[in-house]
A and B are shown apart, each in its own frame.
Chain A
Amino acid sequence: MSNNKLAAIIIDDEKLARDLIRNYLKQFDTIKIVDECENGFEGIKSINENNPDLIFLDIQMPKLNGFEMLELIEENYNIIFTTAYDQYALKAFDVNAIDYLLKPFSKERFKEAVEKTIEKISNSGRPIIKSSLPKLFPTEEKLKRIVVKKNNKIVIIPVDTIIYLEAQDDYVNIVTPDGSYLKQNRMKYYEEHLPNSFIRIHRSYIANLNDIKEISLLEKDNRIVILKNGNRLQVSKTGYKLLKEMIR
């Protein structure tokens, strides 16, 4: 930053919403808007290019919403959410947002949020350590899609195409007919947020009931499921209990 101004990006699909933030920001001569984006895809690209000090982020956007976009960003950024939806406020603080502005917001409220950011940056600079908590999509609803990044490409996986998930250290391997994708997250999260057709059959596996061909007994208390694609997965005792309940 040559002139020591803070770089800001505005990500919102509505032009008037972006205009308002641009107008409100006029009172801060220490902040420079380096880009405006209309959706999450543009947002990711712009963040990687501009490495902003501050991001104004809408949640409900076409293609990739604000939270999904954050899931795909490696580093931590200073985020101020701007949205008409109040139900995501708790989630926003889970991803260490600086503030959560409910549309329509006043100039004073906006000023407060920006000053908070400036103070935080002058104290500690940009947070460098990625939060240890994985960034998750709002918890109230069941997941309908999962976004992942593979070979620098963003892939949106509809959950009903997932065959099974496998735990791999800090990651979860998501297996679909089109290939498998690694996502940093915990199995527990998917166990709770995938639709009911997904069953935790083992400490390391969550299987899609629709893709199970048969359950077979190898020896006493040692069962496996055979999937329609031929894969074989271990089944634990509790996993077998859950399976039995679901099939009944």
Chain B
Amino acid sequence: MENPLVKNNSRTYLITVIVIMGLSFFLLLYFLFDTNVEISILDSLITSLFFALISLSLWYPTNYISLDNYSLEKVILNNILIAIVATSLWLYLSYLIVTTIFHEYEEFFLYTSIWRFTIGLLLFIISIILNYVIIYYNNFTEKVLSESNFNALITEAELKSLKYQINPHFLFNALNSISSLTISNPEKAQEMSINLSDFLRKTLSGNDIKKISLKEEIESIELYLKIEKVRFEKRLEFNLDITEECKDILIPNMILQPLIENAIKHGVYESSERVEITLSCRRKENIVEIKISNNYDPSAVSNIGEGIGLSNINRRLKLIYQRTNLVSITKLDNIFSVLLLIPIDDSAIKDFSNE
């Protein structure tokens, strides 16, 4: 593990500590012991530089004698020993250098060696404790970070698993209609194959984590309905009732498409009468209300499963907006409606797009 004290962001901190230490040493020598200025500066400079060097290297034993691997008593005992060795080394090295430069200073240095040792030991112990705090703090932030990364990954994976998937039967039936039209009405066949391609391009390239404007979502719904209308003709009617201010509101990609498909599946597939699908949208302060409703044949007991469509949408909205109760269903007078509440406030929106 890299010593954080030599990393860029800790460098200023290290320099400050050494300067403070050197300065206080200087003041002590100069005022308390009446040492002359040059000697005071040199002494405090050398001792503090050695201190910095030795305390930096203590980072490695601290890492080695970690609280995870050793008992508390062992850690304390080892570190006291290390501190004593470090202080002795520091004192001896300072003594060697200082007395080599000023021979006459030797007596005074030895005279002050007791308090030098005491202060040094104390400072080394503090610096060791500081190392432990830094290690603990680093581990803690790393853990929090990896945990939140992990959660984001899970959410993203779940969103991907809830991704809209094109119904293969829709595709095969549409292709069958095209196949039929190539004989009876080639022009219409061409138009339908282009519509189908446009729809496929939109859904296959679509990123479900991204948000798109309601206008764009409606464009792909209209493509889809154009194709279904060729198949079902008069049995399918689509009404759009949205206000201008709704058009640019951002919604999760492909969130309405499955609801339209549900309406067709339970409305048009199960009824030989005309089925009207209505998409309406109203803005209410910080919420957009999007409603999709269709009439259905009450006598038809569906043999088609309820489908995972609705619960998927519920789950997706919950993951994206971190809110519940955004989807509600009503059945009234043979009209089935799904109401979606989409929060507009962008700060409440968790954006999972990778861009």
Contacts and interface: CB of A to CB of B under 8 A. Distances in A.
Asked if A and B bind, the verdict is yes
Interface of A: 13-17, 19-20, 23, 38-39, 60, 62-63, 65, 68, 84-85, 102-105, 137, 141, 143-145, 156, 158
A57 to B, nearest CB: 15
Interface string B310-324: 000000000000000
A144 B302 contact: yes
Contact of B173 (A84, A141, A158): A84
A176 to B, nearest CB: 13
Contact of A84 (B176, B180, B301, B303): B176
A23 B169 contact: no
B271 interface: yes
Interface residues of B, number: 29
B303 A144 contact: yes
A26 B301 CA distance: 38
A62 B269 contact: yes
Contacts of A68: 303
Given A144-B303, A156-B299, A16 B181 contact: yes
Contacts of A60: 169, 269
Contacts of B297: 62-63
Interface string B63-80: 000000000000000000
Contacts of B302: 144
A23 B179 CA distance: 11
Contacts of A103: 172-173, 175-176
Contacts, number: 74
Contacts of B305: 141
B173 A19 contact: no
B181 to A, nearest CB: 6
Interface in B285-337: 297, 299-303, 305
Interface stretch (B104-112, B225-233, B345-353): B225-233
Given A16-B184, A102-B172, 18 more contacts: A16-B176, A16-B180, A16-B181, A16-B230, A17-B180, A19-B184, A20-B183, A23-B184, A39-B272, A62-B271, A62-B300, A63-B271, A84-B168, A104-B179, A141-B305, A143-B303, A144-B301, A156-B301
Contacts of B272: 13, 38-39, 62-63
Contact of A17 (B168, B176, B269, B270): B176
Interface of A is mostly: loop
Contact of B169 (A14, A38, A85, A141): A85
Given A38-B272, A62-B300, A14 B173 contact: yes
B177 interface: yes
B180 A20 contact: yes
B176 A158 contact: no
A19 B185 CA distance: 11
A104 B175 contact: yes
A23 B180 contact: yes
Q: What are the 4 A-B residue pairs with the smallest beta carbon separation, nearest first?
A: A20-B180, A84-B172, A103-B176, A104-B176
Nearest to B170: A84
A16 B177 CA distance: 6
Contacts of A62: 268-272, 297, 300
A84 B167 CA distance: 11
A158 B184 CA distance: 40
24 contacts: A14-B173, A14-B177, A15-B233, A16-B176, A16-B231, A17-B176, A19-B184, A20-B176, A20-B183, A23-B184, A39-B272, A60-B269, A65-B303, A84-B169, A84-B172, A84-B173, A85-B169, A103-B173, A103-B176, A104-B175, A141-B305, A145-B301, A145-B303, A156-B299
Interface centre among B178, B180, B181, B231 (most CB of A within 10 A): B180
A19 to B, nearest CB: 5
Nearest to B188: A16
Contacts of B233: 15
A140 to B, nearest CB: 11
Contacts of B184: 16, 19, 23
A146 B66 CA distance: 71
Contacts of A102: 172
Interface centre among A60, A84, A137, A156 (most CB of B within 10 A): A84
